[in-house]
């Protein structure tokens, strides 16, 4: 079964399990659920931390159930297939806490912090838990795997990256600094989380109408452009209240205001790059946010030094990173 790897992206609030055909990185099957690390940990705690049921064993039980569903859906016998897990499963509330890797961090994954959990009688799969990376003031879990995979994919297309800032949008966006094939620094921006808090729980929620992040009219995008422009010229805290006055004074519709808030926060994140004039930029956005981040880059005048990676390639990066890391581990074990 060396032709297959089971890739697991186990986040705080979500779970994704994929069967990957290694030679061509083909996705054979996939299941998803909302049984993230946080809810799994809470369920274990609710059992009173029974000494007969360790945290690792409880997580293995949850994983067994999902692997069985994946095997049934794909018709593939998954016994002995290695499982590589990135995300929060290696955290203090995960399956087993694994120390962070530190900087400088080679982008080939050779210094990724990994813990191998060997197969057991009732769990016939080796598990490779991938930890995150830390600096003295910041951390990331999962993005390092996506980074390793993306750069490996770009190498196969003869687009090697030497020196650049890679921008990974998301709930907690990451700006990752690469120099000479190593991560030398990174920064986290709570762009997506602040958007969710402001749009769902603040006084601003009644001034917005959600339209999702799929397709937009020109009129709606004008609200986004306005938000990006105002992020560059005013205090973000002051501009946030304009979301309310935009609606009170009839300046924008509620749907335009929804995108105005998004533009304001994305613009605030990206304007931090103005001070990094000597660095090329690489925008690595998945499908959901691709159009908006690309538009924000254009609106802020950063297009000239920005390379935009296709959303399809970015969406494939985690798979490629998990495969590369587990291959490195299996190779080192065979030596």
Q: Each residue of 37-71: pLDDT tens digit? A: 999 999 998 876 666 788 999 999 999 999 999 99
Cα distance between residue 168 and residue 176, in whole Å: 8
Task: Report whether pLDDT(128) > 90.
Answer: yes
pLDDT band, residue 301 (cuts 50/70/90): very high
Contacts 24+ apart (CB under 8 A), 190-196: 191/265, 191/266, 191/268, 191/269, 194/265, 195/261, 195/262, 195/265, 196/171
Integer distance in angstroms from the first to the last C-alpha of the chain? 20
Distance CA(227)–CA(222), nearest Å, equals: 9
Cite the DSSP H helix spans in 157-299: 191-201, 218-233, 236-248, 254-270, 290-299
pLDDT at residue 334 in the model: 55
Class of domain 189-311: alpha beta
CA distance 110 to 108: 6
Which residues have a Cβ under 8 Å from the Cβ of 248 and sit 6 or more positions away? 207
Please compute the mean of the pLDDT values over residues 113-119 and round it to a whole number.
94
pLDDT of residue 23: 93
Longest CA span, the chain = 70
Range(s) of the chain covered by CATH 3.30.420.300: 4-141
Nearest residue to 150 via CA among 136, 164, 129: 164
Please check the confidence at residue 94 and state whether its pLDDT lies above 70.
yes
When pLDDT is cut at 50, 70 and 90, the band that residue 215 belongs to is confident
Cβ distance 314 to 170 under 8 Å? no
DSSP string over 274-331? GG-TTS-EEE---GGGHHHHHHHHHHTT-GGGEEEPPHHHHHHHHHHHHHHHHHHHHH
Quick one: pLDDT at residue 51?
Answer: 66
**Separation of alpha carbons 145 and 217, rounded Å:** 35
Q: What is the mean pLDDT of residues 66-91?
A: 95
31 has a pLDDT exceeding 90: yes
* pLDDT tens digits, 136-165: 999 999 999 999 999 999 988 878 788 999
Tell me the three state secondary structure of residue 59.
helix
CATH 3.30.420.310, the chain: domain bounds:
189-311
Looking at the structure, give the CATH architecture of the domain made up of residues 4-141: 2-Layer Sandwich (3.30)
pTM metric for this prediction: 0.92
What CA–CA distance (Å, rounded) separates 53 from 58? Answer: 6
Q: Chain-wide mean pLDDT for the chain?
A: 92
CB neighbour list of residue 306: distance below 8 Å, 6 or more residues apart: 280, 281, 282, 283, 297
Say whether pLDDT at 103 is over 90.
Answer: yes
Euclidean distance between CA atoms 333 and 263, whole angstroms: 48
In the prediction, which pLDDT does 307 show? 94
């Amino acid at each position: 079964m060396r032709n297959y790897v089971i890739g697991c992206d186990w986040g705080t609030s979500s779970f994704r399990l994929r069967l990957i055909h290694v030679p061509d990185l083909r996705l054979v099957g996939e299941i998803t659920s909302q049984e993230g690390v946080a809810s799994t940990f809470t369920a274990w705690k609710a059992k009173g931390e029974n000494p007969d049921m360790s945290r690792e064993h409880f997580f293995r039980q949850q994983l067994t159930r999902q692997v069985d569903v994946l095997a049934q859906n794909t018709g593939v016998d998954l016994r002995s297939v290695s499982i590589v897990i990135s995300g929060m499963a290696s955290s203090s509330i995960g399956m087993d806490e694994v120390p962070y890797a530190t900087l400088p961090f080679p982008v080939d994954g050779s210094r990724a912090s990994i813990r191998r959990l060997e197969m057991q009688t009732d769990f016939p799969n080796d598990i490779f838990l991938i930890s995150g990376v830390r600096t003295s003031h910041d951390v990331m879990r999962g993005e390092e795997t996506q980074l390793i995979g993306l750069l490996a994919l770009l190498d196969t297309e003869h687009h090697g990256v030497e020196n650049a800032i890679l921008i990974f949008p998301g709930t907690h966006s990451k700006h990752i600094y690469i120099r000479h094939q190593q991560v030398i620094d990174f920064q986290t921006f709570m762009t997506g989380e602040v958007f969710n808090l402001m749009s769902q729980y603040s006084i601003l929620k009644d001034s917005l109408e959600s339209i999702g992040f799929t397709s937009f009219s020109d009129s709606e995008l004008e609200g986004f452009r306005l938000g990006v422009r105002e992020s560059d010229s005013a205090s973000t805290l002051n501009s946030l209240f304009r979301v309310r006055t935009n609606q009170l004074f009839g300046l924008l519709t509620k749907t335009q205001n929804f995108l105005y808030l998004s533009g304001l926060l994305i613009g605030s994140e990206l304007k931090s790059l103005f001070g990094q004039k000597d660095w090329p930029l690489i925008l690595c956005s998945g499908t959901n946010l691709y159009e908006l981040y690309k538009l924000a880059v254009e609106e802020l005048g950063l297009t000239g030094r920005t390379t935009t990676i296709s959303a399809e390639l970015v969406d494939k990066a985690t798979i490629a990173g998990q495969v590369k890391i587990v291959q490195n581990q299996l190779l080192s074990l065979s030596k």
